């Protein structure tokens, strides 16, 4: 009833390999988010699922039926576009009824469905207006309504919140989540905003340069990123990276560079012992750095120089210099510090990430 399987999907635009070997199984009722930077192939993949782009090789099947050759209107899907794509010459009611009219639904059925969807979205009193008389948020809701009335097997969203202002985006995110819980239809969502991915997705697919980097639940991607790209993409502010050399001093494994010397906690030391003498990339999130206190063991602290202080209210972002690297630390809002002051920072030992310097895979 809404299960989508992508098998070895590839897309070529002339000689450009835009989507490379994507394999994915989306369960019924699941909310899957494709996230990645511009040009990573996420929208192309979505459009191939919709049938708006031809598939160069591979299969897409919905509920077990291969749909490669099916026209978009026969795939029983509904799509919400980034710029809403409302029919400007039709009223809101006609916009929402259009799909049903094309499929020759009875007038009474159309009326019922449109009214129900309008009810759910809170646009019941806008039915007679034209799109140009609506605000951005209202237009977005009409676009959603147009998709809902079709009762499709799969919803496809192409960056639907990108054109909204920040506050409205947050509000609509919550509404989309509620809508999904209420309707229970499989949804495939494309965005470049990792916050949307984390908050909306049951599972998140991170893509870069046409290749799937990692698939998993949001927290899984946050806590156990498979490679440096995913680690740096998920989470805001982004994870700090530093090139370090693994050294063995007195049986203790440390990650060392010009600015810091961190003792590797026992849990990870086992895995990393074989890397002594090698250059690795150390990753630590800003929220896992705090101002060093007496309770912090010396092996988990390092010196830094404060360069910029960003007050957010709920926390303070400190842009600091550690040796040759810049790092960001998200610290307690009560921290008192000044620019150019030397500050000792401590890491949370359970939240250290190591990546191979060449392959960038997580170790």
Partner 1 sequence: MIEGAKWRRWAYFYLPMAFFLIFLLFPFYWMIITSFRPDGELYRPWNSVNYNPFWTWKPTLDHFRYLFEETLFLSWLWNTMFIALASTAISLVCGVFAGYALSRLNFPFAGSLGTGIFVTYLVPQTLLFIPLAEIIRNYKLGDTPWSLILTYPTFLIPFCTWLMMGYFKAVPKELEECARIDGASRWQAMIYIIIPVAIPGILSAGIFAFTLSWNEFIYALVFLSSPEQKTVPVGVTSELIRGDVFFWGALMAGALLGSIPVAIAYSFFVEHYVAGLTGSVKG
x/- letters, 192..231, toward partner 1 (CB under 8 A): ----------------------------------------
Judge whether 53 and 12 are in contact, CB under 8 Å.
Answer: no
Q: How many residues bind partner 1 (CB under 8 A)?
A: 26
- Least distance to partner 1 from the beta carbon of 187, Å? 15
Q: Does 135 bind partner 1 (CB under 8 A)?
A: no
Phi, psi of 34 (to 5 degrees): -95, 125
- Least distance to partner 1 from the beta carbon of 90, Å? 8
Nearer to partner 1, 154 or 260 (CB): 154
Q: Give the residue among 244, 198, 252, 204 at the shortest CA–CA distance from 356.
A: 244
- Least distance to partner 1 from the beta carbon of 11, Å? 16
- Least distance to partner 1 from the beta carbon of 156, Å? 8
Q: Does 54 bind partner 1 (CB under 8 A)?
A: no
Q: Give the residue among 218, 221, 225 at the shortest CA–CA distance from 196.
A: 218
Sheet holding 154-158, edge to edge: 77-80, 154-158, 186-191, 31-35, 203-208, 211-216
- Least distance to partner 1 from the beta carbon of 146, Å? 7
Give the other-Cβ count within 10 Å of 42's Cβ.
29
Q: Does 71 bind partner 1 (CB under 8 A)?
A: yes
* Candidate list 29, 81, 124, 351; residue touching partner 1; CB under 8 A: 81
Cβ contacts of residue 35 below 8 Å, gap of 6+?
A: 42, 190, 191, 192, 193, 194, 196, 197, 204, 205, 206, 207, 233
Measure the CA dihedral 331/230/43/67, to 10°.
-130
Q: Which stretch binds partner 1 (CB under 8 A): 22-30, 81-89, 247-255, 270-278?
A: 81-89
Judge whether 215 and 34 are in contact, CB under 8 Å.
Answer: no
CA geometry: angle 67, 69, 71, nearest 5 deg: 85
- Least distance to partner 1 from the beta carbon of 83, Å? 5
Nearer to partner 1, 81 or 241 (CB): 81
Q: Which stretch binds partner 1 (CB under 8 A): 1-9, 46-54, 189-197, 241-249?
A: 46-54
- Least distance to partner 1 from the beta carbon of 194, Å? 25
Judge whether 217 and 44 are in contact, CB under 8 Å.
Answer: no
C-alpha to C-alpha distance for 2 and 66, rounded to whole angstroms? 13
Q: Does 27 bind partner 1 (CB under 8 A)?
A: no
* Candidate list 72, 124, 265, 299; residue touching partner 1; CB under 8 A: 72
The b-or-e profile of 90-125 (16+ CB within 10 A means b, else e) is: ebbbebbbbbbeeeebeeeebeebbeebbebbebee
C-alpha to C-alpha distance for 127 and 160, rounded to whole angstroms? 21
- Least distance to partner 1 from the beta carbon of 136, Å? 11
DSSP, collapsed to helix, strand or coil, labels residue 327 as strand
x/- letters, 82..111, toward partner 1 (CB under 8 A): xxxxxxxx--------xx--xx--------
- Least distance to partner 1 from the beta carbon of 119, Å? 21
Q: Does 79 bind partner 1 (CB under 8 A)?
A: yes
Q: Is the peptide bond before 237 cis (omega within 30 degrees of 0)?
A: yes
Q: Which residues bind partner 1 (CB under 8 A)?
A: 50-52, 71-73, 77-79, 81-89, 98-99, 102-103, 131-132, 146, 150
């Amino acid at each position: 009833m809404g299960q989508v399987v992508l098998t070895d999907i590839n897309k070529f635009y002339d000689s450009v390999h835009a989507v490379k070997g994507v394999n994915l199984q989306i369960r019924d009722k699941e909310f899957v988010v494709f996230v990645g930077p511009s040009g990573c192939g996420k929208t192309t993949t979505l459009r191939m699922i919709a049938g708006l782009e031809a598939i160069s090789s591979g299969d897409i099947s919905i509920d077990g039926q291969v749909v490669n050759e099916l026209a978009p209107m026969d795939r029983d899907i509904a799509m919400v576009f980034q710029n809403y794509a409302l029919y400007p010459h039709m009223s809101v009611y006609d916009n929402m009824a259009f799909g049903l009219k094309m499929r020759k639904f009875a007038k009474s059925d159309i009326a019922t469905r449109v009214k129900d969807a309008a009810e759910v979205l809170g646009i019941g009193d806008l039915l007679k207006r034209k799109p140009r008389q609506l605000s951005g948020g209202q237009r977005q809701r009409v676009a959603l309504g147009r998709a809902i009335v079709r009762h499709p097997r799969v919803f496809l969203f192409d960056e639907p919140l990108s054109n909204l202002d920040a506050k409205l985006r947050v509000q609509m995110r919550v509404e989309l989540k509620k809508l999904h819980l209420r309707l229970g239809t499989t949804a495939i969502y494309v965005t470049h905003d990792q916050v949307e991915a984390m908050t909306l997705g049951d599972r998140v697919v991170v893509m870069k340069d046409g290749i799937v980097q990692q698939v998993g639940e949001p927290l899984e991607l946050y806590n156990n990123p498979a490679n440096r790209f995913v680690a740096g993409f998920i989470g805001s502010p982004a994870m700090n990276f530093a090139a370090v050399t693994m050294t063995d001093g007195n049986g203790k494994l440390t990650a060392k560079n010009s600015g810091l010397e961190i003792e590797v906690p026992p849990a990870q030391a086992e895995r990393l012992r074989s890397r002594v003498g090698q250059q690795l990339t150390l990753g630590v999130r800003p929220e896992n750095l705090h101002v060093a206190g007496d309770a912090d063991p010396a092996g988990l602290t390092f010196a830094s120089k404060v360069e910029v202080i960003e007050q957010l209210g709920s926390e303070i972002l400190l842009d600091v210099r550690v040796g040759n690297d810049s790092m960001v630390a998200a610290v307690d809002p009560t921290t008192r510090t000044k620019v150019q002051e030397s500050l000792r920072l401590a890491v949370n030992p359970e939240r250290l990430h190591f990546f191979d310097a060449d392959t960038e895979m997580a170790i």
